[in-house]
Amino acid sequence: MLIRDYQSNDFPQIEALWIDTGIFMVERGDTPRIIERCNDMGGKFLVMEDPETGNIVATSWLTWDGRRILLHHFAISPPFQNQGYGRTLALESLAFARERGYSVKLEVSPDNLPAIQLYRSLGFELLGDFDVYMLKYPS
């Protein structure tokens, strides 16, 4: 598998992958413009491509807020799960943060055991002290 940076014409495949893996939500409003803006601000969007078909089989989106990296939209296409690709892509993603000396934060549903197992095995620890709040439409 090839791990490479996002290109703007990847987006239709990426959106299909997010739908297939259950992480797509319309209200998140993620668009190519937002990906490009986050990259311009110092983030990185990695895709994993099957070299035989040219299809995108995984995504990892690292955004930078000036303090930390947030890792999100981490997903492996269902036919490619449980074959070590998630670990490979996660390690490549964490290398980006390590090279820059940034810590990495992520959110995961407490019932998503495969993802929790993966993150824990990579050294992530539960902060646990906080619930996550969001104001979707500031008025």
**Binding of residue 21 to ligand COA (CB under 6 A):** yes
**Binding of residue 76 to ligand COA (CB under 6 A):** yes
**Binding of residue 81 to ligand COA (CB under 6 A):** yes
**Binding of residue 17 to ligand COA (CB under 6 A):** no
- The answer to whether residues 71 and 34 touch, using CB atoms and an 8 Å cutoff, is no
**CB nearer to ligand COA: pick between 35 and 90:** 90
**Residue 82 amino acid letter:** N
Residues 35-54 that bind ligand COA (CB under 6 A): none
**Binding of residue 85 to ligand COA (CB under 6 A):** yes
Minimum CB separation of residue 30 from ligand COA in Å reads: 14
**Binding of residue 122 to ligand COA (CB under 6 A):** no
What distance in Å separates the CA atoms of residue 34 and residue 16, rounded to the nearest whole number?
17
CA distances from 67 to 42, 59, 137 (A): 11, 23, 24
**Binding of residue 84 to ligand COA (CB under 6 A):** yes
Continuous segment of H or E residues that includes residue 87: helix 85-100
CA distances from 21 to 55, 116, 119 (A): 15, 16, 17
**Contacting residues toward ligand COA, per CB under 6 A:** 21, 23, 74-76, 81-87, 108, 112-115, 117-118, 121
